[in-house]
Chains A and B, each alone.
Chain A
C-alpha cells in the first residue's frame, strides 16, 4: 500500500462542482499526504472517458441541466460503475445522491434514469431545503456528529439495500428524518460545507476503506474549532 499512489477521481468538476465540492478531494488528498500515504487527484472532465482504476471517486453537486448531462456522460462511459464492482470507494454529494439512485424525478415531473448504484429514488420536494444540518451517524459509522449545509429541492427514499448515513437532528436531509445513504463502499449525502472539511471522521473512514489500514488521528485545531462553532450555531 505504501508504494502505490491512491488515486482520487474528481468526477466532472466542470459540471458537478457548483458548491465547492472540489474541497472534498483536496481534504482526502491532504489527509493522506500528511500521513505519508501517497495520493493524487485525477480530474475527469466532461467529454473524457471515466477510468475504472481509481481508488476513490468524488462526485459533487450541480445545477439541473448539468446534472442531466453528467448522468448521461457517466452512463455512456461506465468506468465508475465498473470501479464499484472492484470495490472502489465513492462519495456522492447532493446531485450525487440523486444520480446514483435508480431514478430521479424533477419538479417538472420528468423522471430520469439514475446509475443504479444505490437502492434509492429521488423526487422534487415541495420546498427547497436550505440551511445548517446536524445529524447523528447511523450504526456508529464514525464518531461525532455529521455537520453540513444543505441546499436542495430533491427528497430521497431509500430501498432496503441502502442504509441511511445519519439521523437528522437539525435540518431536512433525505426526508426530514434520515440523511444520506451507505451501500457497500458508496457514501451519499446532501450535505455541502463541503462535507469532508466539516467532517474529518468521514474523510478518514473513506481513506481507511481505500487503503485498508487504520489511520492515526490528525490534530487540526482549526477543524476542531470550526466544527464546534457550526454545531453551536445550528443547535
Chain B
C-alpha cells in the first residue's frame, strides 16, 4: 500500500549528504550524539528538506507534554511490523532532529516522529502525516514553551486544518479534547490521565469544567468528554471491538500503560493488527536511558526522567510502591525552563520519612521546597556522588531534562 519514498530533488539530496556527514563528524569528534546537527545543516541548505524527506512516506507524528519519547518508541516498534521505520529516538524532537532521522533512513517507507508541542504546526504542515497522536497537555516550562492554552490553541488550529490525518487523542485530557474536537477524523483514547490542574476552565469558552467520575463537560459550551474508542483498563486495554488485551509492559507506571494504549490505537490507524502491536511494544524497556538501572558500588540506581509537575506527580506514584531512598536531581537550564516555581506544584510531601538527597545544579532551590514539605534531606549537587552516599541497595533517581541527560551520559561513560 505504500510507495517507496520519492526520489529526492538534487538540492535536498546534497543537503542530506552534507547533513549526514556533519552528524558523523559530530559523533567522531565527540561533540554530540549527532541527533540534531546533521538536520540543522541540511535545513540550512534546503529549508524544504522536511517536506521533501517525508514525501511518499506514511508518517505518524507524536506530540504532547509528557510521554512523547516513550510513545514514539512504542509506536515505531509496532509500525515496524509493516516495514522499515525512520524515527527520532533520542528525544531530538524539533525539525532538525526529524531531518537527521529521515536522512539516515532515506528508504524507510514509514516515519514515526516525536515532535515538540511548539513545533507541531510546522512539522504537521510539512510532513502531511497520516496519523497524529496528541498525548496530553499540561504546564511545562512556562518561560520557554508558554502557557498551556496558547499551545492548545495552536494545536487546535493545525489539527482543524489537516485534511487526510487521523488524530489519536486522549479524551481524559480536556486540553487535548479541545485541540482535537474539530478534527475530520479522530480516535478517542481513555487513558485515565490524572492531572486536571490546568483545565478548571474551558479552553474554548472560559466557563468551568465539571467532573463527575471519569466524565467531564463544560458548563458553558458543548465541549464534553467524547465516548472513547479505546480504553486503558488496569494493566490492560479494551479495543474498539470490546476485546480485552493484557498489556504486560516492561515499563512501570500507569502513565506508560496510557502511552501503550495511545501507541496501539495509532498503530492500528497505521494498519498494524492490535495484538501484534502490543506484542511488539511490550519489549520497550529502556527509552533513551530512562527506567534503566545502573550499578555503582553496591547501589542499584533506577533512573527516572520527570520534567514538569504532571510528570513528577506520576513518578512519585511509581516510586511510592517501594520505600527506597531517593535522589532528586534538578537543573534549570534553558531546555528545562529557567523558572523553578513549578517545584511547588509537585507533591514532594509524599516523600516524608524517606531518605532523600537534593541534587543537581539547582539543588538548593529543591532543598527549600523539601524543607517546607518537611522532608528530611541532605544536599549533594553531583548526582553520582549522591547515589554513592546512599545506603547500599536500591535507589530511585528522579531527574529533570538536562539533569537526566547529563547523568545518563556520565553513567554510560562509567559502564
A95-129 interface bits toward B, Cβ cutoff 8 Å, 1 = contact, 0 = none: 00000000000000000000000000000000000
Chain B nearest CB from A49 CB (Å) reads 15
The tally of CB-CB contacts under 8 A between chains A and B is 97
Selected from B143, B148, B341, B367, the residue in CB contact (under 8 A) with A193 is B341
Q: Is the CB of A131 within 8 A of B338?
A: yes
Q: Is the CB of A149 within 8 A of B339?
A: yes
Task: List B249-283 residues whose CB lies under 8 Å from chain A.
Answer: none
Complex A-B: 13 CB contacts under 8 Å? A14-B200, A15-B200, A18-B139, A19-B339, A65-B149, A65-B206, A69-B201, A69-B208, A132-B338, A149-B338, A149-B341, A222-B367, A222-B371
Contacts of B208 in A (CB 8 A): 46-47, 69
| A131 CA / B332 CA spacing, docked (Å) | 12
Known contacts being A18-B139, A63-B149, A149-B338, is A46 close to B344, with CB within 8 Å? Answer: no
Q: Is the CB of B203 within 8 A of A23?
A: no
Residue ranges of A at the interface with B (Cβ–Cβ < 8 Å): 14-15, 17-23, 26-27, 30, 45-47, 63-66, 68-69, 130-132, 149, 151, 192-194, 197, 220, 222-223, 225-226, 229
Question: Is B364 part of the binding interface, using a Cβ–Cβ cutoff of 8 Å?
Answer: yes
Known contacts being A69-B201, A69-B206, A193-B341, is A223 close to B368, with CB within 8 Å? Answer: yes
Q: Is the CB of B371 within 8 A of A192?
A: no
Q: Is the CB of B149 within 8 A of A26?
A: no
Contacts of B370 in A (CB 8 A): 222
Contacts of A47 in B (CB 8 A): 208
Chain A nearest CB from B240 CB (Å) reads 34
Question: Is B147 part of the binding interface, using a Cβ–Cβ cutoff of 8 Å?
Answer: yes
Chain A nearest CB from B364 CB (Å) reads 4
Q: Which of B142, B343, B367, B368 has its CB near the most chain A CB atoms (within 10 A)?
A: B368
Residue ranges of B at the interface with A (Cβ–Cβ < 8 Å): 139, 142-143, 147-149, 197-198, 200-201, 203, 206-208, 338-345, 364-365, 367-374, 379
Q: Is the CB of A226 within 8 A of B367?
A: yes
Known contacts being A197-B369, A223-B368, A226-B365, is A18 close to B344, with CB within 8 Å? Answer: no
| A18 CA / B146 CA spacing, docked (Å) | 11
Contacts of B198 in A (CB 8 A): 18
Contacts of A222 in B (CB 8 A): 364, 367-368, 370-371, 379
13 other A-B residue contacts (CB within 8 Å) besides A46-B200, A131-B143, A194-B341: A19-B142, A19-B341, A20-B341, A20-B344, A30-B372, A47-B208, A64-B149, A65-B201, A149-B338, A149-B341, A197-B368, A220-B368, A222-B370
Contacts of A226 in B (CB 8 A): 364-365, 367-368
Closest 5 CB pairs of A and B: A23-B344, A20-B344, A20-B341, A14-B200, A222-B367
Q: Is the CB of B200 within 8 A of A151?
A: no
Q: Is the CB of B143 within 8 A of A18?
A: no
| A32 CA / B305 CA spacing, docked (Å) | 35
| A69 CA / B207 CA spacing, docked (Å) | 8
Known contacts being A23-B341, A192-B339, A197-B344, is A18 close to B142, with CB within 8 Å? Answer: yes
Q: Is the CB of B200 within 8 A of A66?
A: yes
Q: Is the CB of B367 within 8 A of A151?
A: no
Known contacts being A20-B345, A47-B208, is A65 close to B339, with CB within 8 Å? Answer: no
Contacts of A45 in B (CB 8 A): 200
Contacts of A27 in B (CB 8 A): 372
Q: Is the CB of A22 within 8 A of B200?
A: no
Contacts of B342 in A (CB 8 A): 19-20
A26: nearest chain-B partner, CB-CB = B372
Chain A nearest CB from B313 CB (Å) reads 13
Contacts of B203 in A (CB 8 A): 65
Contacts of A21 in B (CB 8 A): 341, 344
Q: Is the CB of A225 within 8 A of B344?
A: no
Contacts of A65 in B (CB 8 A): 149, 201, 203, 206
Q: Is the CB of A151 within 8 A of B143?
A: yes
Chain B nearest CB from A64 CB (Å) reads 7
Chain B nearest CB from A200 CB (Å) reads 10
| A226 CA / B338 CA spacing, docked (Å) | 15
Chain B nearest CB from A140 CB (Å) reads 25
Contacts of B340 in A (CB 8 A): 149, 193
Contacts of A64 in B (CB 8 A): 149
| A226 CA / B372 CA spacing, docked (Å) | 14
Chain A nearest CB from B407 CB (Å) reads 21
A47: nearest chain-B partner, CB-CB = B208
| A19 CA / B146 CA spacing, docked (Å) | 12
Contacts of B368 in A (CB 8 A): 197, 220, 222-223, 226
| A192 CA / B340 CA spacing, docked (Å) | 9
Contacts of B200 in A (CB 8 A): 14-15, 45-46, 66
Chain A nearest CB from B66 CB (Å) reads 17
| A11 CA / B143 CA spacing, docked (Å) | 23
Q: Is the CB of A225 within 8 A of B364?
A: yes
Contacts of A151 in B (CB 8 A): 142-143, 339
Q: Which of A20, A45, A46, A131 has its CB near the most chain B CB atoms (within 10 A)?
A: A20
Q: Is the CB of A46 within 8 A of B201?
A: yes
A228: nearest chain-B partner, CB-CB = B364
Chain A nearest CB from B147 CB (Å) reads 5
